[in-house]
């Protein structure tokens, strides 16, 4: 993730200092992510943060092709976890269990400008690609059991997304964006769903 962010910052600098127009639009964003499915994922994990980087190119005045990578980070809700498994909260210690979701998706973004001179442009997007879930091991310590390990899991599956957003034109080159989307991973047994709200910037 750090390398991707450094790469995007390099691209931002190159675009800003370029003497000729560049055909690609780099993006960087961050925000809040909420686990929505499956039910165990929603129940056992708190809302976390997301980081994203991407690059797009205009296919027409109202249509953009954009590749975007998002990293979602979630922390185990230990109280919810203890309640689910009927452990005694007073004598139970739970450690580990961090969860992350990565989505690498190619999106079609459709702009809906209300007028030619507007600085606020709503848009709709839909896309598909790869989705990866990784849950770390959970260690449970009680008076009866020391060091019980509930194994985590890793899985890569096809993914998709759908969402809406707004572009806020700050000047000729800089645009802020705010979007809400649903990231879906078609994981084994049950579909994994994450609901992120993202705020970011793009530079032409």
Residue 156 Cα distances to 51, 54, 69, 72, 194, angstroms:
19, 20, 14, 15, 15
- For the chain, domains (ranges, CATH) are 26-198 (2.40.160.20)
Task: Give the tens place of pLDDT for each residue, 35-72.
Answer: 999 988 898 899 999 999 999 999 998 999 999 999 99
Region 118-147: mean pLDDT is: 86
The closest alpha carbon to 54, from 177, 185, 190, 191, belongs to: 177
**Local confidence band at 3 (pLDDT 50, 70, 90 cut-offs):** low
Sheet with 93-96, strands from edge to edge, namely 93-96, 138-141, 148-150
Region 9-38: mean pLDDT is: 74
d(CA 162, CA 127): 7
Amino acid 10: pLDDT: 57
Contact 183, 196 (CB under 8 A): yes
Task: Give the tens place of pLDDT for each residue, 70-111.
Answer: 999 999 887 777 776 666 666 677 777 889 999 999 999 999
């Amino acid at each position: 993730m750090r390398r991707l962010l450094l790469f995007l910052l390099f691209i931002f600098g190159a675009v800003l200092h370029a003497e000729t127009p560049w055909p690609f639009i780099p993006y960087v964003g961050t925000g809040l992510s909420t686990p929505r499915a499956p039910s165990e994922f929603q129940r056992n994990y708190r809302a976390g943060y997301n980081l994203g980087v991407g690059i797009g190119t205009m296919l027409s005045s109202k249509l953009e092709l954009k590749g975007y990578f998002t990293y979602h980070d979630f922390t185990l809700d230990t109280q919810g976890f203890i309640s689910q498994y009927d452990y005694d909260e007073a004598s139970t210690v739970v450690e580990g269990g961090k969860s992350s979701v990565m989505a690498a998706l190619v999106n079609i973004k459709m702009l809906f400008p209300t007028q030619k001179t507007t600085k606020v442009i709503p848009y709709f997007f839909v896309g598909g690609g790869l989705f990866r879930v990784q849950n770390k091991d959970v260690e449970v310590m009680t008076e009866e059991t020391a060091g019980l390990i509930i194994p985590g899991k890793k899985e890569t599956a096809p993914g998709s997304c759908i969402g809406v957003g707004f572009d806020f034109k700050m000047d000729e080159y800089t645009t802020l964006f705010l979007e809400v989307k649903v990231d879906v991973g078609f994981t084994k047994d049950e579909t994994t769903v994450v609901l992120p709200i993202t705020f970011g910037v793009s530079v032409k």
